[in-house]
Amino acid sequence: MTELPARRLLLVHAHPDDESINNGVTMARYAAEGAHVTLVTCTLGERGEVIPPELAHLSGAALGGHRRGELTAAMRALGVDDFRLLGGPGRFADSGMTGLPDNDDPGCLWQADVDRAAELLVEVIREVRPQVLVTYDPDGGYGHPDHIQAHRIAMRAAELAAEAGCPIAKVYWNRVPRTVAEGAFARLDEELPGLPFEKAAGVEDVPGVVDDERITTEIRGEGTAYATAKTAAMSAHVTQITVAGPHFVLSNELAQPVFTTEYYELVRGERAGDSDGGARESDLFAGIETEETP
């Protein structure tokens, strides 16, 4: 078996594109620094809305296959080699947006047995033995069924892995501090007349926004190659994202800022830094004794 690097990071996401929007800087940084970065995506996003008119014919399995290609291109931009689909391609289907009949599809992620799905993720954990896990908060960031279910699966897998002798030292949830989001949208409103987008989203449209004091960790990317890699990775998800400089839109055509500093809340494990919690970590692996693993 190939020896794995001393630092190993696992990210669990619902659909292709979620990883680039939420964690592109983080993934690019740790991949460049030689850490082993593993992405597990739970569905192929077969029910996503398609932006480009020339690709509007794609739906279902055809869209899922196309988005798998987009994911491959995004991972190339981030320098990540280890990316997988939970249980293999097509094991869990996209559940669609909240309240749609798609949520009742017995093959969709929302209908999956959490323990059984978590066992599939435990197989990955036993293989790569990550010290750090990144996923969504209990609301999935903004309430999407697949995001909520990905959170449940990731957190349950962490529990099962610990019971199996493969504990994960630190678990983080994706976050955005409220003041950062408010400031970014204030600047966006001023810049909107010069952008190729007609309308702006709002703070309420950003997943995982919380009060600043809940943020424990930030990974900075402004002005670095990591920020450039993030934008390139987002741009690779052509069916889902349109990027214009430091801004982007999803299928709702509402402009949002690209956050090139990424924020996290440590929910399991020991926080490095001041004992009173005043200092934010600048490294997801802070405080972890790392070693290579066979």
Binding-site sequence positions for Zn(2+): 15, 18, 147
Strands (E), the chain: 8-13, 36-41, 82-85, 132-135, 170-177, 199-200, 209-210, 217-220, 242-244, 247-249, 254-257, 261-268
Does residue 187 come out as left (phi exceeding 0), alpha (psi in the -120 to 50 range) or beta?
alpha
Q: Which ranges constitute the DSSP H helices of 10-97? A: 18-32, 60-78
Kindly give, in sequence order, each residue whose CB lies less than 8 Å from that of residue 202, ignoring residues fewer than 6 positions away: 185
CA dist 92 and 87 (Å) reads 8
Give the span between the Cα atoms of 98 and 116, in whole angstroms: 23
Q: Specify binding-site residues.
A: 15, 18, 147
For residue 128, which amino acid is it?
V
| CB-facing half-sphere around the CA of 277: CA atoms within 13 A | 8
> Which residues, in sequence order, are bridge partners of residue 6?
none
Read off the tokens for 60: 């279902």
Structural tokens at position 288:
């972890």
| Rounded distance between C-alpha atoms, residue 43 and residue 158, angstroms | 19
Q: Which two tokens stand for residue 251?
A: 């299928």
Rounded to 10 degrees, the C-alpha dihedral 44/49/55/56 comes to 130
